[in-house]
Amino acid sequence: MIAKVGVLLWKDILSELRTKELIFSMLVFSLMVAVIFNFSFPPGSEFIKDASPGILWMTFIFAGLLGMNRSFVYEVDTGCLQGLMLAPMDRSVIYISKLLVNFIFIGTVELIVTPLFAIFFDFSIIDSLGPFLLMLFLSTLGFSVIGTLFSAIAVNTKTREVMLPILHFPVVIPIIICAVQATSAIFQGREWSEIWNWLKILIAFDIIFLILAILMFEYVIEE
């Protein structure tokens, strides 16, 4: 099974490496969001420091949605999904490989964007890199778990790109809350126990929905 996931994963990474469409659009989009957010505060305002965890996460979420929107569109439009479903393997292999692709793409963008945001919004994460990366891992995983399942749903609707956020946002609210709070606790140099409180919810969310999504995916792509 791991080998099968690997093959599918490599297929997506290879096609992305050839075009570099997604990662580049997500990156440019993220930087533009930073500029736009900057205008929502009065010039020279101190608010922007308190708001930086929120801005960071809004950027990741919008950029992530941009990427995840595409994850099944190409498969469906070219008939590749049909081929994958005919292949002798469990349906969950398709889900897990897509989940990993989304996770890797969003994670890459996050790792590039965070240092740039640290410059733009003047925060430092070097002192608490470990907790920050752990938090980034857990929230990006949960975000992609739901996003991958829902993008397979949204691709069947008439309004594909609009439908994904409408389905996705209300369900990932726990992730948004925990990620933003944990990030601001990290930025303010709070104690580990306080950060851990948020990470616990993220871990619970990830486990519950990973299992549920694998179970449900079979019903989503069934023809």
Partner 1 sequence: MNVSKSILGPALFVCMLVNLYLIFMFAPTESSMGQIQRIFYFHVPTAWVSGLSLFVLFISSILYLWKKQRKYDIVAHAAGEIGVLFMTMFLVTGPIWARPVWNIWWDWSPRLTSSLVLWFIFVAYLMLRNFVENEEKGARLAAVFAIVGFVDVPIVYMSIRLWADIHPRPVIGGGESSGLHPDMKIAFYFSVFTFTLLFLYLLIQRVRLQKTTVAISEMKKQIAY
Residues 6+ apart with CB under 8 A from 175: 139, 142, 143, 146, 202, 205
- Pick one of 23, 99, 146, 210: the residue that binds partner 1 (CB under 8 A): 146
171 binds partner 1 (CB under 8 A): yes
156 binds partner 1 (CB under 8 A): yes
Residue 198 CB, shortest distance to partner 1, in Å, is: 8
Residue 35 CB, shortest distance to partner 1, in Å, is: 28
User: Among 103, 86, 84, 90, which Cα is nearest to 13's?
Assistant: 103
208 binds partner 1 (CB under 8 A): yes
Compute CA distances 52 → 63, 85, 102, whole Å: 16, 43, 24
Residue (132 or 150) nearer to partner 1, CB = 150
User: Among 184, 185, 183, 181, which Cα is nearest to 173's?
Assistant: 181
Q: What residues line the site for partner 1 (CB under 8 A)? A: 146, 149-150, 153, 156-159, 163, 166-167, 169-171, 173-174, 177-178, 181, 197-198, 201, 204-205, 208-209, 212-213, 216, 219-220, 222
